[in-house]
């Protein structure tokens, strides 16, 4: 995908371009960790979790001087949420986690493959993902974007 050439490009076009560049730069080095998120409270639910960790962050300071990871900011612009450890997971409409022959693909709205990682999927994790039909996905290293999204187990 090439970068839009003029100022009439939408923010989503620029974000999609950035995501493609980031994915291309680090596609072979994305680590995917699997686990379970256990919500606090009386109705505690055990939700399968997949954490996409790029090999490196692409950080820049924003106008206020805060460091932002451009890959995470691209994910936020496309509908994931900035994640703090004490946050409750929220749905991220339009996103999808799909099993691939080599592992998992994180698919953003408009069918953009945002990231992918090679990973064997253990049967207990896959069973939980299929049963709940959704997964908590986190993307990033130190700064994280996250959302609860559907899981598709078709190769």
Report yes or no on 4 lying in a domain: no
Report yes or no on 47 lying in a domain: yes
pLDDT at 1: 38
Q: Quick check: 8 pLDDT over 60? A: no
Report yes or no on 135 lying in a domain: yes
pLDDT at 42: 52
Report yes or no on 65 lying in a domain: yes
CA-to-CA dists, residue 101 to 117, 126, 146, angstroms: 11, 14, 24
Q: How confident is the model at residue 21 (pLDDT cuts 50, 70, 90)?
A: low
Q: Quick check: 132 pLDDT over 80? A: yes
Structural domain that includes position 35: 11-152
Report yes or no on 5 lying in a domain: no
More confident residue, 82 or 14: 82
Q: How confident is the model at residue 96 (pLDDT cuts 50, 70, 90)?
A: very high
> How many domains does the chain fold into?
1
pTM of the model: 0.79
pLDDT at 18: 65
Q: Quick check: 81 pLDDT over 50? A: yes
Mean pLDDT, rounded, for 127-141: 94
Q: Quick check: 9 pLDDT over 80? A: no
Report yes or no on 141 lying in a domain: yes
Report yes or no on 30 lying in a domain: yes
Report yes or no on 3 lying in a domain: no
pLDDT tens, 102-112? 899 999 998 88
pLDDT tens, 24-66? 555 556 889 999 998 766 556 789 999 999 887 777 777 888 8
């Amino acid at each position: 995908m090439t970068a839009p050439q003029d100022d009439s490009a939408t923010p989503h076009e620029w974000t999609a371009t950035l995501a493609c560049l980031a994915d291309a730069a680090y596609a072979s080095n994305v680590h995917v960790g699997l686990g379970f998120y256990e919500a606090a409270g009386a109705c505690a639910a055990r939700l399968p979790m997949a954490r996409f960790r790029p090999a490196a962050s692409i950080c820049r300071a924003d106008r206020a001087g805060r460091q932002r990871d451009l890959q995470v900011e691209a994910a936020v612009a496309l509908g994931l949420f900035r994640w703090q450890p004490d946050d409750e997971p929220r749905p991220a409409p339009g996103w999808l986690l799909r099993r691939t022959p080599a592992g998992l693909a994180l698919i953003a709205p408009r069918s953009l493959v945002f990231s992918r990682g090679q990973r064997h999927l253990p049967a207990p994790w896959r069973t939980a993902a299929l049963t709940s039909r959704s997964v908590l996905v986190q993307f990033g290293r130190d700064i994280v974007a996250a959302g609860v999204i559907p899981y598709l187990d078709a190769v």
